[in-house]
């Protein structure tokens, strides 16, 4: 599993479960400008939004580095969020060591998390354990901070054709204005 696989699974979830029209920039005619988010989602029932997709493999790293999000990506997400509230999201796919998670976090919330954690370290651990500073463990400065934004896995028998097997958390369905 890598970032492209995570992006494809998010694409399939949004397309086949929610009826949205996601596009990955290289699929769109024209040259991709550096920093553009990975997915632009067109919503036939409401405003569209952007998702920047990232990935961590827990067999290689134990934390998501804030530097994984480039300055031009940050600028693009922030500018779009200023123009369209609830229009920018960060997706983090987690694989390795039996973990298989997808988190889709509202961009402004992610920036607040970074600001909170940055005083202790420059990454968000998957789980703050004895190898992390006490402030990280005591305040649960880890992926528990974004647990509310975790997509839920669904059984194969409950999946729609071509679907990846994820569903959005209820809070995202409201924010993304996906209600009928």
The reported pLDDT for the residue numbered 95 is: 93
In a domain, 128, yes or no: no
pLDDT digits (tens, 9 = 90+) for 48-75: 999 999 999 999 999 999 999 999 999 9
- Tell whether the model's pLDDT for residue 3 goes beyond 80: yes
Pick from 65-69, 84-88, 146-150: least confident: 84-88
pLDDT digits (tens, 9 = 90+) for 11-61: 999 999 999 999 987 655 565 566 788 999 999 988 899 999 999 999 999
The reported pLDDT for the residue numbered 28 is: 57
In a domain, 83, yes or no: yes
Q: Is the pTM of this model over 0.85?
A: yes
In a domain, 49, yes or no: yes
In a domain, 35, yes or no: yes
Name, in order, each residue with C-beta under 8 angstroms of 129's C-beta and a sequence gap of 6 or more. Answer: 137
Spatial distance between the Cα atoms of 101 and 51, rounded to a whole number of angstroms: 16
In a domain, 80, yes or no: yes
Range of the domain at 170: 3-62+69-108+149-175
Q: Are 84 and 47 in contact (CB under 8 A)?
A: yes
The reported pLDDT for the residue numbered 29 is: 58
The reported pLDDT for the residue numbered 119 is: 85
In a domain, 119, yes or no: no
Pick from 20-29, 52-61, 85-94, 168-177: least confident: 20-29
**Could you tell me the CATH number of the domain that includes residue 7?**
3.40.1350
Our count of domains for the chain comes to 1
pLDDT tier at 139 (50, 70, 90 boundaries)?
confident
Higher pLDDT, 99 or 118: 118
In a domain, 143, yes or no: no
- Tell whether the model's pLDDT for residue 96 goes beyond 60: yes
Mean pLDDT within 3-12:
94
Question: For the chain, how are helix, strand and coil distributed in percent, rounded to 5?
Answer: 35, 25, 40
Spatial distance between the Cα atoms of 41 and 48, rounded to a whole number of angstroms: 5
In a domain, 167, yes or no: yes
The reported pLDDT for the residue numbered 42 is: 93
């Amino acid at each position: 599993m890598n970032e492209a696989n995570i992006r494809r699974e998010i694409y399939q979830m949004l397309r086949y479960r929610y009826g949205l029209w996601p596009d990955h920039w290289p699929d769109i005619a024209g040259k991709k400008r550096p920093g553009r988010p990975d997915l632009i989602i067109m919503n036939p029932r409401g405003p569209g939004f952007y998702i920047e997709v990232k990935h961590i493999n827990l067999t290689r790293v134990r934390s998501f580095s804030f530097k994984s999000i480039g300055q031009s990506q940050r600028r693009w997400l922030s500018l779009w969020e200023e123009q369209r509230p609830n229009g920018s999201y960060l997706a983090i796919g987690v694989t390795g060591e039996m973990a298989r998670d997808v988190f889709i976090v509202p961009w402004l919330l992610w920036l607040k998390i970074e600001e909170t954690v940055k005083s202790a370290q420059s990454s968000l651990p998957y789980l703050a354990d004895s190898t992390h500073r006490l402030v990280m463990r005591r305040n649960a400065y880890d992926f528990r901070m974004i647990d509310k934004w975790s997509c839920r896995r669904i059984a194969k028998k409950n999946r729609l054709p071509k679907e990846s097997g994820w569903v959005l958390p209820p809070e995202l369905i409201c924010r993304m204005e996906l209600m009928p």
